[in-house]
Amino acid sequence: MIYLDNAATTPLTPSVINSIAEVMTEDFGNPSSIHAFGRKANHRLRQNRQIIADYLSTNPRQIIFTSGGTESNNTAIKGYALANQAKGKHLITTEIEHHSVLHTMQYLEERFGFEVTYLKPENGRITADSLKKALRDDTILVSMMFANNETGDLLPIAEVGQILKDHQAVFHVDAVQAFGKVSINPEELGIDFLSASAHKFHGPKGVGILYTTPLHFDNLLHGGEQEEKRRASTENMIGIAGMAQALSDSQAHQADNWKHISQLKETFLSELEGLDFYVNATDKVMPYVVNIGFPGQNNGLLLTQLDLSGFAISTGSACTAGTVDPSHVLMSMYGKDSARLQESIRVSFSDVNTIEEVTQLAQKLKEIVGK
């Protein structure tokens, strides 16, 4: 099997597995315990938190360990909105966000009477100008992803941060697809909350972070006093160690990884020469994701044929009970009647993929689509 669905999850690398095994066998103590085992675990916890903070060029006290991107998104949006609704009940996000953002917004609308403005792409792109027009005096939070998980499109984070600089609204960024792949300085970008998930950059599943400035927000979990009383629950030391190792590895090779991924994408598209296809994206994208469509080809059938041929990709949309739902991202970009919704597939790369693998995928697509 050739795995090219890295936007969904990435494989663990040997160094990450080794770091996890070390915690499982040696540092199994509870970091809240005061005896030697606990102190040793707490020391490792502080070291790992510092690694995350250094990547974001921030203070380690700004980092909250969570169970992943979904919890981080829920905590930032739900926690802040509910704690600060006296300031206003208007929220802004985009139509192309991950469902962990969209469904959280819908929950606040339906259960607590918040009003949410969903920004629509203009010529395929979310613009800072559309955000500026939607901003109101009673807007208290703006949530926008750093890079889209289906198309790789980069959103105007720096521009939005500048617009919100003199506004009461806080800025939440879902950086799940970008974290570990590009340099991110939330303080320079004007970001108040930032979400990330380890399994998108070769870390384990079930662990992530929420970066936060010193803001008041409601806790979603109540119990102990972990994470400076902001997130109850014994820290997932195994996952955190794996995440910190994966981030350290990614940082050490960030420029080389970007160059390698760009070569994979360029090779893949060039090898498709002769086929009729289109790419769903703007001109500002991360090379890690290619959303591509073939006129007249059903993406569900194509995905199955590729799977049977040994290639793991996706449509970039939710699969439930054997059926493929149309992509809400492509629907927002091109309209609900666009043929692209039934024709497009997502190929996503990681640094462990090779030129040979993407060449083989291109050849298989030419074989299938050509017939």
Contacts of 321 (CB under 8 A, 6+ apart): none
**What type of residue is 91?**
L
Contact 311, 349 (CB under 8 A): no
State both tokens at 224: 């102990």
Q: Which of 179, 227, 234, 173 is nearest to 203 (CA)?
A: 179
By CB atoms closer than 10 A (0-12, 13-18, 19+), residue 137 is exposed
Catalytic residue among 259, 319, 339, 356: 319
Contact 196, 203 (CB under 8 A): no
Sheet holding 289-293, edge to edge: 278-279, 289-293, 344-348
Whole-number Å distance between alpha carbons of 142 and 160: 9
Whole-number Å distance between alpha carbons of 139 and 339: 36
**What type of residue is 335?**
G
Whole-number Å distance between alpha carbons of 353 and 71: 29
State both tokens at 368: 């299938």
319 is a catalytic site residue: yes
State both tokens at 267: 């090779």
**Residue 323: CB atoms within 10 Å:** 8
Q: Which of 2, 74, 21, 39 is nearest to 231 (CA)?
A: 74
Q: Which residues partner with 174 through β-bridges?
A: 145, 195
State both tokens at 133: 């027009």
Q: Which residues partner with 115 through β-bridges?
A: 90
Rounded to 5 degrees, what are φ and ψ at 99?
-65, -25
State both tokens at 129: 């100008």
Q: Which of 295, 290, 297 is nearest to 361 (CA)?
A: 290
For tokens 């009729």, name the residue: 276
Active site residues: 319
